[in-house]
Amino acid sequence: MISLKNLKIILTTFLLIVTLAFVEIATNSQIALADITTNPTTAAEIFSANCAGCHINGSNIIRRGKNLKQKALKKYGMDSIANISNLVTNGKGIMPAYKDRLSEQQIIDVSAYVLSQAENDWK
């Protein structure tokens, strides 16, 4: 039998995934990327404050192969806003979850920022 607490977690996760999938499909990533283009400071600041400690310039000081370079993102299936957002939201392995620290929009923005930086080789 599923407890009420577990049911809430499952429903919240499901709603987040559906929302992220809708954003990805509806915008075809262009609107989110356009937001980053028009307001890069916000996403860059979010990344700097929350991610750069381990992922400075797209690298990974903890596990070198799990970096944010385009090749690694593709290798690990993290080459979409939805997939990166899911990882940032829920964490995985030693990477913590940021769902309690960042808003859904901040997570989407920083995910789009990571993709755009990877495309430019973090220059």
CATH number at residue 39: 1.10.760.10
pLDDT digits (tens), the chain, 123 positions: 778 887 788 877 766 676 666 556 554 444 454 444 444 458 999 999 999 999 999 999 999 889 999 999 999 999 999 999 999 999 999 999 999 999 999 999 999 999 999 999 999
d(CA 90, CA 74): 19
45's CB contacts (< 8 A; 6+ apart) are: none
Distance CA 45, CA 41 (A): 6
Residues 6+ apart with CB under 8 A from 121: 58, 69, 70
Residue 36: what pLDDT?
45
CB atoms within 10 A of CB 56: 14
How many domains are contained in the chain?
1
Sign of the CA dihedral with 61 first, then 44, 114, and 89 last: positive
Find the domain containing 27 and state its range. 4-119
